Each structure stands twice: as C-alpha cells, then as structure tokens.
C-alpha cells in the first residue's frame, strides 16, 4: 500500500509538471491571448445575456422554453445548435471529424423559477438578484461566452473538438437525466473523452470526486376518520413520525461522511381528523457507494418497523405502504489519473487562483462513475443563497473565471 501511494504521488508530481509546461505554452498563444482580451471586453454583453436567460423559467422537467431561447442565442453567434431527445441543447464545435470531444456542460434547470421577468433584477451596483442567477445562470452565461470565443480552436493543431451542452434535469428529482443521456445514449457519447462541468460561481474548488445519493418517497396510507369518533384507527402520520424517529437514531459513519435527511413531509386534512395519507421524501448521501446501500437499508427497516408498530397498536391496519426510490446519483472516488483535474490545477497555479480539490454532487457524478476524466468548476464572480428566492450574483471578477475556462480548454485541446 505504501509503495503504491509513493508511486501515485510521483506520477502525480510528474503529471503536474507536464501540465504546468503545457499551460504556460498555451497562455502564450495568440488565439488564447485574444480570447482573454475579448472576454474582458464582453463583460457588459455577457451580463445582459445572463439576466435575459435567467428571466426564462426553467424548473426541473420544464426546461423547453429556456432550451429554445438558448438555441436561438447560439445560432445568432454563428453556430448550428440542436436540441436532443432528452431536451439538452447541443452545440458542436468541430475542428476535425476524426477528433474526440471535450464536453463543456452547464445545467439549465433551477429549483425555483421566476414567476415573472422582474423577479430577476439588477441593483444599481450591478448585483443580480433572483432565483437561479448563480445556480446555474452563471454556468449558462459561461457557455454563451465560450460560444463567442471558440469559433476556431485555441491551439493550431487541436487534439479535440469542443461540445457545448446546456443540459436538463440536474436539480433534485431530475436525477441527472440530461447528463445521463449525453453520457449513455447521445450520438456523441462514444466520442466524448473529457467532461468539464460548469456549475455555480466559486473559483475556489475543482470537484474531482462525486458525492453519491439515493432519494426515496415514503407513502403510508390508512382509512382516515374522525379524531374522536374513530380514535384507535391506524394513523399514517403517527407511523411516519415513528419511522422518521427510527431513521434519526441511526448511527451513521463520520468517515466516510454519510448523511440521512428527511427533507419534506406531508399529510393530513385537519387538526381533528385522522389522516388517510402521510408521506416523506428522504435523502441519503455519501462518497462511498457501500455506505449509501447500508443507509438505504436503514430507511427501509425504519419504514417497515414503524408500519408494523402502528398496526399492532391500532384497531385496524394501515391500508398501504410504499417506499419508492426516486433518485440515485452514483458516488465516485477521485480517479487515479484525471488529466482534466491536472490541467485545471496547473491553470489555477498559473492564474494564481487558490483552489482545492473537493467532492460534491453535480453532473460530474455520471462521467466520473464511468471512469471518464471529469471535473466540475465554477465560472467566476461571487454568488449566494442558491435554491432560495433571495439568490444573488455579483459579476465582479467574472473575467478571471472565463480566462480560467479558456486556458483550461486550450490545455485540453493541446496534443499530449
């Protein structure tokens, strides 16, 4: 084990040295320097694009209007975009038909959608406010910026084409449907050998491992009735409460960190009624697939034990019980060799961006679990209050994020 660790450390150090040289060389290229300058000049244009696209609602499973909007924007920039069978917007930048692709992706969907355009607003100081402006308006705006900058390859003899993708169904119960289609069923699937996922604003991370999850919908049903006249009947809410109590008593590991959270509960009709239905949605997370499986069994055990206990104490029985899996994101450890991570570590060293490798739950889960070199990064600026109506984004410094993306793509286009 020690010998293996030393060997991997030496290999990593050697790889980083190669990537540092490659990034220094890429930064000196005239097309890269031109793209840097253009990115700085385009900031006002990009801010307008950002606000406009965020005003087009795109809740999970309802991204079609935003997809069509983005398709038109890519076409106006001189490209030939399409919308695939999953609803993803696909923009191929083909320099040679024989080359593989770097897929640069950003998800279109938001957990909260604006109900009217003026919910997306800009303060006098340039701060953007409203649902989705950071997660993931920033990533989509970055795709538009790249479409404007990458009409031709950044290096003279590229080793890869570029595929820009605005994908559907990343958030919540979308279950990564859009990126799964790209990775497993798209006509481009077999041609993509690198993924770069652009999600959020922060430049402080390079996500190179995947936080996995399983999500469950627990539904318990009974006859219902009057709280006094029918007292003693099986109560779905009581059973659900008992199940949640059992789940929260579970002894979960700290390393690898594993979590179990009940994020939504629903049930009942009035304070003086025995409810006929109760339900909860449950989220299990870990970076270790084995722990996800173990904790999922805890959820199942708690639900069954709670239903049995409620039936035992009642004058009748609950009429229905279902525990249904509604989402599964694969966990993945950091790949032993990940040239995309090595590339962006070298880029950040060159641009003096203080970033760290981390683990998160993103579209990167799918290709990482399949062993395809992938990272997820932010696109620059600052943002906060993601998934809340008060979400905000400050575009100051976004040009640094764009330089990071351009230089990274140039490095990945370069021949080894």
Q: What is the DSSP string of 193-214?
A: EEEEEE-SS--SEEEEEE-EEE
pTM higher than the cut 0.85: yes
Average pLDDT, the chain: 94
Contact 285, 212 (CB under 8 A): yes
Non-local CB neighbours of 28 within 8 Å, separated by 6+ positions? none
- What would the mean pLDDT of 182-205 be, rounded to a whole number? 97
- What would the mean pLDDT of 387-404 be, rounded to a whole number? 96
- What would the mean pLDDT of 376-385 be, rounded to a whole number? 97
**Alpha-carbon dihedral 198, 199, 203, 208, rounded to 10 degrees:** -70
Give the separation between CA 146 and CA 149, rounded to whole angstroms.
5
- What would the mean pLDDT of 319-329 be, rounded to a whole number? 95
Half-sphere exposure of 18 (CA within 13 A, CB side): 13
CB neighbour class for 262 (10 Å; exposed up to 12, middle 13-18, buried from 19): middle
For residue 416, what pLDDT is reported?
Answer: 66
For residue 2, what pLDDT is reported?
Answer: 37
- pLDDT at position 11 over 60: no
> What are the chain's domains?
11-210+331-413 (3.40.630.10), 212-328 (3.30.70.360)
* The two structure tokens encoding residue 152: 């031709």
């Amino acid at each position: 084990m020690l010998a293996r660790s030393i060997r991997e450390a030496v290999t990593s150090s050697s790889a980083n040295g190669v990537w540092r040289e490659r990034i220094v060389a890429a930064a000196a290229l005239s097309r890269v320097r031109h793209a840097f300058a253009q990115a700085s000049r385009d900031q006002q244009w990009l801010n307008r694009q950002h606000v406009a696209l965020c005003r087009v609602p795109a809740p999970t499973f309802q991204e079609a209007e935003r997809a069509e909007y983005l398709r038109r924007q890519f076409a106006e920039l001189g490209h030939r975009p399409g919308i695939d069978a999953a609803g993803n917007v696909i923009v191929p930048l083909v320099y040679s038909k024989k080359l593989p692709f770097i897929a640069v992706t950003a998800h279109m969907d938001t957990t909260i959608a604006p109900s009217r355009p003026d919910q997306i607003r800009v303060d006098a100081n340039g701060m953007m406010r409203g649902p989705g402006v950071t997660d993931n308006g920033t990533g989509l705006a970055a795709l538009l910026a790249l479409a404007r900058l990458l009409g031709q390859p950044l290096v003279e003899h590229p080793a890869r084409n570029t595929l820009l993708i605005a994908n559907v169904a990343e958030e919540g119960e979308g279950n990564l449907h859009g990126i799964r289609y790209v990775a497993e069923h798209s006509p481009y699937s077999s041609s993509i050998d690198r993924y770069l996922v652009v999600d959020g604003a922060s430049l402080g991370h390079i996500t190179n491992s995947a936080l996995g999850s399983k999500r469950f919908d627990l539904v318990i049903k009974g006859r219902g009735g009057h709280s006094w006249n029918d007292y003693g009947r099986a109560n779905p809410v009581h059973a659900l409460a008992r199940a949640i109590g059992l789940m929260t008593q579970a002894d979960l590991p700290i390393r690898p960190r594993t979590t179990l959270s009940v994020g939504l509960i629903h049930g009942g009709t009035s304070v003086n009624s025995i409810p006929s239905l109760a339900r909860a949605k449950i989220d299990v997370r870990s970076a270790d697939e084995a722990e996800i499986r173990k904790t999922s069994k805890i959820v199942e055990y708690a639900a069954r034990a709670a239903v049995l206990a409620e039936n035992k104490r009642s004058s009748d029985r609950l009429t229905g019980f279902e525990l249904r899996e509604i989402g599964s994101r694969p966990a993945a450890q950091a790949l032993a060799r990940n040239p995309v991570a090595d590339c962006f570590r070298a880029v950040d060293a060159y641009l003096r961006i203080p970033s760290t490798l981390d683990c998160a739950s993103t579209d990167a889960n799918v290709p990482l679990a399949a062993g395809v070199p992938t990272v997820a990064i932010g696109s620059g600026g600052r943002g906060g209050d993601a998934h809340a109506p008060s979400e905000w984004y400050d575009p100051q410094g976004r040009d640094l994020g764009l330089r990071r993306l351009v230089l990274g793509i140039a490095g990945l286009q370069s021949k080894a």
